[in-house]
Structure 1
Amino acid sequence: MKIFSALYDWTLKWAKHKFAPYILAVLSFTESVIFPIPPDVLLAPMVLSKPEKAWRFASLTTIASVLGGVCGYILGYLMFEPWIQPIITDLGYQHRFDQVMAWFSQYGIWVVFLAGFSPVPYKLFTVSAGLLQMAFLPFLIASAIGRGMRFFLVAGLIKWGGVAMEEKLRQWADRIGWALVAIIVIAYLVLR
């Protein structure tokens, strides 16, 4: 079944839309607070479709993501008990959240930097930083550096790969998509 190649083509079509930068900014912001889909899934096709704007798209993604991180920080700082804790519990993230809290106590600000750069759910770290009342300026700097490095790396790799990378991605889209589904199902079964 060629579900993922069709989805890939659909995403590339949307990446060329005039409102794509706005959608990218909203996706980047909300992913830092609560939304589960990372902005890379739109950033990469946008850079593929308009490589001359790679750095602009990476900047937009970084700024919106850091602003979303600030929102997550504020929510953790002011509204953890009434709003955030029930959501974490309902989504089944309590174990992950407890792990994040342990990492914060062990590694401090470095956790925010690593979470910003890695595919680990950044939103858990933004809320945790607010809950723990981490110093805001170090949080902001670590978020900006970590998120910026990640998104500029994605944009740079996609821009560098260009048309050849786009052709390879199209060729392998279904295999990669089904492999990711298999990995997610296996991880779910193992971790459950």
Structure 2
Amino acid sequence: MIRSLYDWTIRMADHPNALWVLALISFVESSFFPIPPDLLMIPMIIARPNRAFTIAAVAMAASVLGGLLGYAIGALAFDSIGRPILESLGKADSIEVFNEKFNQAGFWAVLLAGMTPFPYKVITIMSGWTGMNLATFLMTSILARGLRFFIIAGLLWKFGSPVRDFIEKRLGLVFIVFFAILIGGFLLVKYI
């Protein structure tokens, strides 16, 4: 099953709408969707390394725009939309404490969440809810998401063929490690 999903994703990388699908996933992941865009971005770059930086730019731009939606959810609809999203991630009890500490470390919180497997949507919603300065949020989001996606793109562009060979030979292991990192990010949210 994993092999067929991987093969399908590699084939989709050549599809004319692949960048639009990546943009959609990157956008919704930044505000409410649980699956990170890396799942599509990495195979797209492996399949088409000559488009690595275009793919990273699309993921970054859509992710930052989605982050603005997350910010708006926090600022304008926290009780009706934001709180249920954070409660589903197990953060209901620590919302008030988090609010007090968040703006003190807002730049660093957005930067770290934007670059790591930590669910970015939590930070985008909390940034809006706590009233973080929008310009600071926007610039930090561009920096963080840009670093994350362009570092991945650069590494895959430079080492694409060996990386592809490694992934294809050890697909099961790569899949397990990737999801362990993803689950670790969600657990980090739950216990912080």
TM-score, normalised via structure 2 length: 0.86
Contact map agreement 1:103 1:111 (CA 8 A) in 2: no
Q: Secondary structure at the match of 1:94?
A: coil
Distance 1:180 1:115, change over 3 A: closer
Query: For 1:112 and 1:71, how far apart are their aligned partners in 2?
Result: 15
Q: Which residue of 2 aligns with 1:114?
A: 112
Which amino acid letter does the alignment assign opposite residue 109 of structure 2? V
- Report the more deviating stretch, 91-100 or 38-47: 91-100
Does residue 53 in structure 1 map to residue 51 in structure 2?
Answer: yes
* 1:125 counterpart (111, 123, 126): 123
Distance 1:179 1:59, change over 3 A: closer
Q: Which residue of 2 aligns with 1:176?
A: 174
Does residue 88 in structure 1 map to residue 86 in structure 2?
Answer: yes
Q: Which residue of 2 aligns with 1:30?
A: 28
Q: Deviations over 1:120-146 (max 9, x none)?
A: 100000000000111100110000000
* 1:8 counterpart (6, 9, 18): 6
Q: Percent identity?
A: 38
Distance 1:45 1:73, change over 3 A: same
Q: Which residue of 1 aligns with 2:158?
A: 160
Which amino acid letter does the alignment assign opposite residue 44 of structure 1? I
Give the length in aligned residue pairs: 187
Query: For 1:98 and 1:35, how far apart are their aligned partners in 2?
Result: 23
Query: For 2:41 and 2:94, how far apart are their aligned partners in 1?
Result: 26
Structure 1: runs of 5+ lacking an equivalent? none
Q: Which residue of 2 aligns with 1:136?
A: 134
Contact map agreement 1:72 1:123 (CA 8 A) in 2: yes
Deviation of 1:38 after TM superposition, in Å, equals 0.7
Deviation of 1:103 after TM superposition, in Å, equals 4.9
Distance 1:146 1:179, change over 3 A: closer
Deviation of 1:47 after TM superposition, in Å, equals 1.0
Q: Which runs of 4+ in 1 moved over 6 A?
A: none
TM-score, normalised via structure 1 length: 0.86
Task: Give the CA RMSD over aligned residues.
Answer: 2.5
- Report the more deviating stretch, 5-14 or 113-122: 5-14
Query: For 1:181 and 1:72, how far apart are their aligned partners in 2?
Result: 24
